[in-house]
Amino acid sequence: MTIDLAAVDKADERPPYRQIAAALREAIRRGKLGPGDKLPSESELVDHYGVARMTARQAIQDLKAEGLVVAEHGRGVFVRSVPVVRRLASERFARRHRDRGKAAFSMEAEKVGYTPGVDRLSVTEAPATSEVAERLGLAVGDAVVIRDRRYLANGEPVETAVSYIPADLARGTAIVESDTGPGGIYARLEDAGYTLGHFVEEVAARMPTPDERRALQLSTGVPVMSVVRTAYDTTGRAVEVCDTVKAAHAYVLEYDFPAR
Amino acid sequence: MTIDLAAVDKADERPPYRQIAAALREAIRRGKLGPGDKLPSESELVDHYGVARMTARQAIQDLKAEGLVVAEHGRGVFVRSVPVVRRLASERFARRHRDRGKAAFSMEAEKVGYTPGVDRLSVTEAPATSEVAERLGLAVGDAVVIRDRRYLANGEPVETAVSYIPADLARGTAIVESDTGPGGIYARLEDAGYTLGHFVEEVAARMPTPDERRALQLSTGVPVMSVVRTAYDTTGRAVEVCDTVKAAHAYVLEYDFPAR
DNA sequence: CTATTGCAGTTCCCTAGACGAGTAGGCATG
DNA sequence: CATGCCTACTCGTCTAGGGAACTGCAATAG
pLDDT 10s digits, B148-202: 998 887 677 889 999 999 999 998 888 888 888 787 889 999 999 999 999 999 9
Domain coordinates in residue numbering, chain B: 16-79, 88-254
Using an 8 Å CB-CB cutoff, list chain B residues near A200. Answer: 254-256
Tens-binned pLDDT, residue by residue, of chain A (260 aa)? 445 566 766 666 688 999 999 999 888 888 888 888 889 988 888 988 889 999 999 999 888 888 888 888 888 898 887 655 666 655 555 443 333 333 333 333 333 444 457 777 899 999 999 889 999 999 999 999 999 998 887 667 889 999 999 999 998 888 888 888 777 889 899 999 999 999 999 999 988 877 788 788 787 778 899 999 999 999 999 999 999 999 998 888 999 988 86
Nearest protein residue to the C1' atom of D13, measured from CA? A15
Label residue B140 by pLDDT band (50, 70, 90).
Answer: very high
Strand C, CB < 7 A, residues 47-66 of B: 51-55, 58
Of A186, A197, A257, the CB nearest to B199: A257
Q: Is B251 a residue whose pLDDT tops 70?
A: yes
- Using alpha carbons, select from A91, A100, A75 the residue that is nearest to residue A252: A91
Residue A106 or residue B207, greater confidence: B207
Select the more confidently predicted residue: B84 or A60. A60
- Residue closest to sugar C1' of C23 by CA: B74
Quick one: which residue's CA is nearest to D16's C1'?
A52
DSSP string, A181-237: -TTHHHHHHHHTT--EEEEEEEEEEEPPPHHHHHHTTPPTT--EEEEEEEEEETTS-
Tell if the CB–CB gap between A210 and B25 is shorter than 8 Å: yes
Q: Are A17 and A9 in contact (CB under 8 A)?
A: no
Query: Do A148 and A132 form a contact (C-beta atoms < 8 A)?
Result: no
Q: Which nucleotide is nearest to A44 (CA to C1')?
A: C10
pTM above 0.90, yes or no: no
CB nearest to B203's CB, from A206, A253, A260: A253
Cα angle: B246, vertex B247, B252; to 5 degrees: 75
Query: What CATH number should be reported for the domain whose range is A85-254?
Result: 3.40.1410.10
CB-count exposure of residue A130 (10 Å: 0-12, 13-18, 19+) = exposed
Residues 6+ positions from B127 with CB-CB distance below 8 Å:
B140, B141, B142, B143, B144
Q: Which CATH superfamily is domain B88-254 in?
A: Chorismate lyase-like (3.40.1410.10)
pLDDT tens per residue, range B155-165? 778 899 999 99
B77 Cβ contacts chain D strand, under 7 Å: yes
Nearest Cα to Cα of residue B240 among B132, B83, B155: B132
Residue A13's alpha-carbon distances to A9, A16, A19, A47, in angstroms, are: 8, 9, 9, 22
| B256:A221 CB<8 A | no
B34 CA to D15 C1', in Å?
Answer: 37
Secondary-structure class of domain B16-79 per CATH: mainly alpha
CA angle A119, A124, A128 (to 5 degrees): 120
* Residue B57 CB neighbour total at 10 angstroms: 17
- For A70 and D28, how far is CA from C1' in angstroms? 35
Q: Same topology for domains B16-79 and B88-254, yes or no?
A: no
3-state DSSP assignment of residue A124: strand
B252 contacts in A (CB within 8 Å)? 202-204
